[in-house]
């Protein structure tokens, strides 16, 4: 698989945990945002240890794409439009970045199930 996906934090964690449902994405080209790495590092510190958290922070830092004020504006409009779903700022930014870059948003977060441009995997 040589497709490109925006990996949200959920997807990255599932890859790290070895979730078989994500195995088909192991050779996919990945992008993510700095906010996802912040969430990832925290989750790994909490659930594992500092060495593992630091290792994966470094590993995935090569896949971060930047964002600009336009992305922030669009992400906040998306988040407000979907306020009842309680989508995080990081996920809103990731979703908008995926659309702006013409790639699928890979996640298992239930808030995104059924949305356009989402590859939903549990």
Query: Which residue segments constitute the domains of the chain, with CATH numbers given?
Result: 4-117 (3.40.50.1010)
What pLDDT is stored for residue 2 in this prediction? Answer: 72
pLDDT mean by block of 10 residues, the chain; 122 residues: 90 97 96 98 97 98 97 98 96 98 97 97 96
| Whether the model pTM is above 0.85 | yes
pLDDT score, position 72: 98
* Secondary structure (DSSP) of 55-102: HHHHHHGGGB----HHHHHHHHHHHHHTGGGT--HHHHHHHHHHHHTT
For residue 1, the model assigns a pLDDT of 53
Q: What is the pLDDT of residue 47?
A: 95
């Amino acid at each position: 698989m040589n497709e490109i996906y925006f990996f949200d934090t959920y997807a990255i964690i599932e890859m790290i945990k070895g979730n078989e449902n994500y195995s088909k994405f192991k050779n996919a080209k990945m992008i993510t945002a700095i906010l996802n790495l912040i969430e990832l590092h925290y989750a790994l510190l909490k659930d594992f240890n500092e060495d593992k958290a630091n290792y994966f922070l470094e590993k995935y830092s090569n896949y971060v794409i930047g964002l600009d004020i336009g992305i922030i504006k669009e992400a906040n409009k998306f988040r407000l439009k979907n306020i009842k779903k309680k989508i995080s700022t990081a996920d809103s930014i990731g979703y908008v970045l995926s659309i702006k870059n013409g790639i699928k948003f890979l996640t298992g977060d239930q808030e995104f199930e059924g949305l356009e441009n989402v590859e939903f995997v549990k």
